[in-house]
Structure 1
């Protein structure tokens, strides 16, 4: 006699919830104790029912189904799986066998799921879903021989449906990702491939599995076998190129796709992949040619128009880029991206009003903040700093990080215009949003240096060092500031020396700091050596100012003047350089015999 699954009748379930309280003492000696045990130990022991309480087996089965469904709703998953399986194991009902399988899977009771799926297959041998689940469960339990049997039956039943074969195989092999499951899946596929006639579906799935197992060479071997059978296999051809590229055989991958497209020029998906590969290889002209072929076939394809627009910018073909992005706008696809790039193109053409208009139309997406930043920068270039700051203060943000990014940009624009108090206020606002942020503290410390706020500078940098005692840049910044702003030269030297020792590579700014503190300590020879090394690494006006000063103080005024003049030829308006030279040559007279001040 077939018993309908009562879980499908909501009214019956509501009644069953009421009955559950009435009959619980018939099923359990101590219901609360058993629920606690099931919750804590995930117990799988069978629930004991006494037939004396039921007038017929059907009534008992109905009761157990009710118990299973209510337990499932209340989260008692092992009890639900066990109760439903007991019914499935005692009556040959297809619906109950299927339900028992799905409940056991949901509950993670895989041994019960295996048995229920086997019952399901017995009742419905043609069910692909039943065999798929049974194959998965057998594979999970490392019973690969039995799993192979089920999969062979399944594959034979789907021999005229290759896409369905592929989907089923991939579903079966989709196990929780760990090395053991991967090894079992490979063992299963190896047995299937060896026992059956060469099968394109199996070979392709096997090649993908080998790639996932980081065995690209073996995957290529399998693909070669497949491509011998089906030379124009839609997925295998590009996957072969992908594997070559993955093994750093980029030119071979490109050649493979070039030859494939020569033989099969109508494969648009292959051409799209080939065009992207060319772009990745920075063969931009060739990539543009391939994308243009695709565009002639798909004139409103958003991905193709976007790629052509970006590549045209990359190759300085701005009129073409503008045309592609305007066409992209017409499709309604990637609107914010198109507007952002149209803003860039207008900015490149010095059409500031159009650039501002396009940037302001960017309302979201990955380029939103960049577009707002460009609006502010363009306003600053037009001498409208206040409008730029006002714009940044009205930018809508989605999270704390975006708000901090905007405040940092605001501070940087203000610093460039020497509006230091307002910049300090912006950094303080950022720190209110994210207290103790090390990056913001570092930037505020650098600003404090410009404002001669030595106490704040030292406070912020020491806070960073308390968190990151080996932070090279912070060690160097604090050491240099102590050498430059105070007479704590020994302390400064120790900090800079530590930065020098910790730095994995030679850094010109640390050499500059070391030269400066050695100068303050009176070691002119070593100071000059470090400063010359720093200047050789980086032609920086501040280093030239330092080196010139030390040379002058060491008695080599001619060399000092030469260093300053060479630097001024490149940086004629650098304030530090000009001020340093002015201190030593107040009247602009470059008298080589002038005594040291």
Structure 2
């Protein structure tokens, strides 16, 4: 006997038989095309294909995910937008559209599409509902709340690597690296068992960062060797390899990674200032603060009126207690260019806190917290420190 894949039912009047036949034909055609598209996907993507009956919306959604995981967020957003335009109830596409905007820093659009997806969560599968709740928690609640729907997804199916990755990410956001590591490792183990490449590079770098933060350098180095095979020449992997090499005093290896890192960014048309600032972050993360400061200052000299360059150097000088007064002067200029930016308000507030101006610091940190587009654990810690200091003075 042959397998019955799907039954279709459509209601109407006998006089509308030709229209009904056309409608039924479209339903069957869409179903068959979606079935074929699903078969071309990896096991994980098949589970999260979404809640649409439109073959065209499905096609755009798949193309959007391919671009998203390549970190091509502009074409990804366009594909997801097309998908939602075809099927306005396609909540999964709306959720990925929100993430595409978030990764480009277009936070108001990201929040808007998160709310659109959230409004439709009762109309979708339980699996998709939990993913939408995770997205909502990231924007409007916090990492502890984001863990709740993820745990529900784990109960449904503990063989979905991306859910393990998101669990690890939530713990990383809270700086709980030891708790994050098993989830990141499990994610990679499942991909290896399936004999497929991980969805995107951050599954490697999330684990690499957790290893680094906990001093597991040997494990980190071994991980990057595997990552290079799946993502050859990826600048994010090269950046982290450079940080690791510098942290271990392996300057020759670090120079090689940095040279490749610069070459790739130049090939992708990054500005000299952006590349120079990136080098500052490499040396910063390796604990080589004099060198880091040199690059941050050079980046600012290349773009002296860019608020982001002013904030990068200001934050560095304040956070590492190198020159808090100069840091506050720099962040004052950044806020004149972009008043109300939540990151710049945090830098200003944290600088004032370190000067002992706790009430003034609290004012800026509260503004930062109120205007943040999504939960930020570091701002939360700064705010709590300021609140405690003000309370202790009372």
Q: Do these two structures clear the TM 0.5 threshold for a shared fold by scoring above it?
A: no
**Shorter-normalised TM range:** 0.3 to 0.5
Q: Which has the larger radius of gyration?
A: 1
Q: TM-score when scaled to structure 1? A: 0.32
Report the TM-score, using the length of structure 2 for normalisation. 0.45
